[in-house]
Amino acid sequence: MRKQWHYFIFFAIIIIQFLIELGFIFVNFNLLSAYNSIKKQYNITGAINPFALIYKNMLNAVSIGLFLDFILLLLTSSALILAIRFKENIISNNSNLENEAFTDSLTGLYNRRYFNTFYENIFAQSSRYGIPLSLIMCDIDHFKNINDTYGHDKGDIVLKEVSDVLKNNIRKSDIAVRFGGEEFIVCLPSTSITDAIDVARKIKQMISKIRTKDTKNLTISMGVASYKKEFGNESKDMLKHLDNLLYEAKNRGRNRIISGDHQGSIIEVEENPWADE
């Protein structure tokens, strides 16, 4: 905010200076016209005329002033143009730095740093106003084997492919995050557990269709959780619950979706159990 005020004041000074120079040019130009009228009216041409010397000096002063005003106007205009370009570069650089700070360079997804801020704000809204909130945590199955067998370059390709599936199957209001390594989180504001399960199932199906050279069919383990009153104001409790669901998916053999029913029991999701509600 302070930087914006600095820019505003700086541009205001330049524009005021620009207007002042225009004003001086207008005044001097009018004076020059007035002196030319006086010259014609009183025939101030010869050196014998007692007003000739005074007129000549005043005319020279006005002419020089007009010339200097034009120069200052050009300099002010140049300064204004340079200031505008400088501001555009600063804004562009700040935007690039912000993107680098909040996105994962490999996948283009948001990083954990951005998620922490986003999630805390959304969780607070759910806690205060009862707005639905759902999270999906997913982990690529046997990803270490992919890196060990085919190399990290192939592993990077897999991460990018999975990231593209996540980005292409969520709404603009949702965010997909590379939470760490081969682990991802999808944050779904204003989304019930019913709709979150549908999103998870769609993502799982799309990832199973990924085909990369050398690697076998990809599978993914997923945990799906929705905000409950039991979490209260503790956002970390919801994340811990989500992490436990993902762990249960891996513990049961991977390549599955684990969630919880209305009574809090852990269940494995094949079809959406709340699709008809």
Among candidate residues 21, 161, 182, 248, the one labeled active-site is 182
182 is catalytic: yes
Report the first-to-last Cα separation within the chain, whole angstroms.
Answer: 47
Q: How far is residue 74's CA from residue 164's CA, in Å, rounded to a whole number?
A: 51
Q: Are strands 257-260 and 220-226 parallel, antiparallel or unpaired?
A: parallel
Evaluate the CA torsion angle 174, 178, 179, 185 in order and state its sign.
Answer: positive
What are the φ and ψ backbone dihedral angles of 269, each rounded to 5 degrees?
A: -100, 120
What are the φ and ψ backbone dihedral angles of 15, each rounded to 5 degrees?
A: -65, -40
HSE at residue 49, side-chain half, CA atoms within 13 A, is: 12
Q: How far is residue 36's CA from residue 42's CA, in Å, rounded to a whole number?
A: 10
Active site residues: 182
